[in-house]
């Protein structure tokens, strides 16, 4: 999969692999047990060059391809997908400011985000909206030379530690999605209420939670994208997000398979290694086939995205398939290890929770089916 990468991009992937082994692996289980988002580890990853992968070099970033972002995310997810997803969100927030921001936005926010001093987050989803991103009710009302924000946001990655919030708000309900704008709002600003992080099945390193906006006033300069452009920008990055989730699930499945194979080679039962049982071999062979197919689908979508070609269907296929086989594949690897696979002595339980999470983020499996189904029917009903 690295054949399309430059030598510099390959070094970034190697940096991610080493960072995952040296920094994330020794701490991931503790983060999950203690239910914390590891701010200092995120900052260390940013300082290592893994937090600004898509940002152009002229702005201090790495100027890497989208495929590089996916490969870095895969390597980190092989240890902890929650950590990887948190870092991807920061990457994407940085990139949005670098590419869509005016000189004031770039000067005001980029330097501190490039060092990890400021952690970014997107606030799109709402408690009642779910996958219907256009049904935003958080309001932005004109107030002199600024705006007042009111409403609630849910399922916000990095919510526990985020310093800068990219808030999608409705400026004119009568215009539907065309009224949605994007504002950059400091988390400590008056009127911003950070809610307690969610208690979930797993993936607590993402710091998922919600925010409330209670008559929060922001200046005109806080608007990153004007009405109409805000929603279009959010949707323009959805294919990349879905392909990245697919790549992250490949990291989960790869590690789970490695752990199960190592265990099977060392465990004996009924007078022989359990790895010698054909049933177990075939069980893990199916996992390996699914992993191979998932990687091909994920990186084909990334190739199209890097080439500037349409990739909505490929990204939907990749996310749907990779999240499905990650969930079933991790469970099969656990089963191959017997009851030991259920213990927290091994990372498979953490990976199982993250695999399930993958079926929700950046569009549920059902949303992928909507995208694919419409494309299938289009030639027959137009």
Q: Are residues 268 and 321 in the same domain?
A: yes
Q: Are residues 260 and 344 in the same domain?
A: yes
Residue 283 lies in a domain: yes
Q: Are residues 363 and 342 in the same domain?
A: yes
Q: Are residues 242 and 363 in the same domain?
A: yes
Instruction: Indicate which CATH number applies to the domain containing 137.
Output: 2.40.110.10
Q: Which domain holds residue 224?
A: 120-228
Q: What is the pLDDT along the chain (382 residues), one digit of tens a residue?
A: 667 899 999 999 999 999 999 999 999 999 999 999 999 999 999 999 999 999 999 999 999 999 999 999 999 999 999 999 999 999 999 999 999 999 999 999 999 999 999 999 999 999 987 767 778 999 999 999 999 999 999 999 999 999 999 999 999 999 999 999 999 999 999 999 999 999 999 999 999 999 999 999 999 999 999 998 988 888 888 999 999 999 999 999 999 999 999 999 998 889 899 899 999 999 999 999 999 999 999 999 999 999 999 999 999 999 999 999 999 999 999 999 999 999 999 999 999 999 999 999 999 999 999 999 999 999 999 6
Q: Are residues 222 and 137 in the same domain?
A: yes
Instruction: Indicate which CATH number applies to the domain containing 27.
Output: 1.10.540.10
Q: Are residues 190 and 312 in the same domain?
A: no
Residue 210 lies in a domain: yes
Please state, in angstroms and rounded to a whole number, the distance separating the CA atoms of residues 364 and 349: 21
Q: Are residues 212 and 94 in the same domain?
A: no
Residue 381 lies in a domain: no
Instruction: Indicate which CATH number applies to the domain containing 251.
Output: 1.20.140.10
Q: Are residues 40 and 137 in the same domain?
A: no
What total of structural domains would you count in the chain?
Answer: 3
Please state, in angstroms and rounded to a whole number, the distance separating the CA atoms of residues 326 and 315: 16
pTM: 0.95
Rounded to the nearest 5 percent, the helix, strand and coil shares of the chain are 60, 15, 25
Q: Which residues contact 157 (CB under 8 A, 6 or more apart)?
A: 85, 86, 89, 121, 122, 206, 207, 208, 361
- The phi, psi pair for 189, rounded to 5°, reads -70, 150
């Amino acid at each position: 999969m690295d054949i399309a990468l430059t030598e510099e991009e390959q070094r970034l992937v190697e940096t991610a692999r080493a960072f995952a082994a040296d920094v994330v692996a020794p701490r991931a289980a503790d983060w999950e047990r203690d239910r914390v988002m590891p701010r200092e580890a995120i900052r260390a990853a940013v300082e290592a060059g893994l937090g600004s992968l898509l940002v152009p070099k002229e702005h201090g970033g790495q100027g890497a391809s989208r495929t590089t972002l996916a490969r870095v995310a895969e390597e980190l997810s092989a240890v902890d997908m929650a950590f990887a997803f948190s870092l991807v969100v920061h990457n994407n927030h940085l990139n949005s400011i670098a590419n869509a921001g005016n000189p004031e936005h770039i000067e005001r926010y980029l330097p501190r985000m490039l060092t990890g001093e400021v952690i970014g987050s997107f606030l799109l989803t709402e408690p009642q909206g779910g996958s219907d991103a256009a049904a935003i009710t958080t309001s932005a009302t004109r107030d002199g030379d600024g705006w007042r924000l009111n409403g609630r946001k849910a399922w916000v990655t990095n919510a526990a530690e985020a310093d800068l919030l990219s808030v999608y708000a409705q400026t004119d309900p009568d215009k539907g999605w065309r009224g949605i704008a994007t504002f950059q709002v400091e988390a400590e600003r008056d009127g911003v209420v950070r809610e307690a992080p969610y208690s979930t099945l797993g993936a607590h390193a993402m710091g998922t939670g919600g925010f409330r906006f209670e008559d929060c006033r922001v200046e005109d300069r806080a608007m990153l994208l004007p009405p109409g452009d805000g929603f279009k920008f959010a949707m323009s990055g959805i294919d990349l997000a879905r392909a990245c989730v697919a790549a992250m699930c490949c990291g989960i499945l790869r590690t789970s398979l490695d752990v199960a194979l190592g265990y099977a080679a060392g465990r004996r039962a009924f007078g022989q290694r359990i790895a010698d049982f054909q049933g177990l071999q075939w069980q893990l062979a199916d996992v390996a086939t699914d992993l191979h197919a998932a990687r091909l689908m994920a990186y084909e979508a990334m190739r199209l995205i890097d080439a500037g070609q349409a990739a909505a269907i490929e990204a939907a296929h990749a996310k749907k398939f990779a999240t499905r086989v990650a969930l079933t594949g991790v469970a099969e690897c656990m089963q191959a290890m017997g009851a030991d696979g259920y213990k927290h002595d091994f990372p498979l339980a953490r990976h199982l929770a993250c695999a399930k999470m993958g079926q929700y983020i950046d569009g549920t499996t059902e949303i992928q089916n909507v995208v694919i189904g419409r494309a299938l029917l289009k030639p027959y009903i137009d």
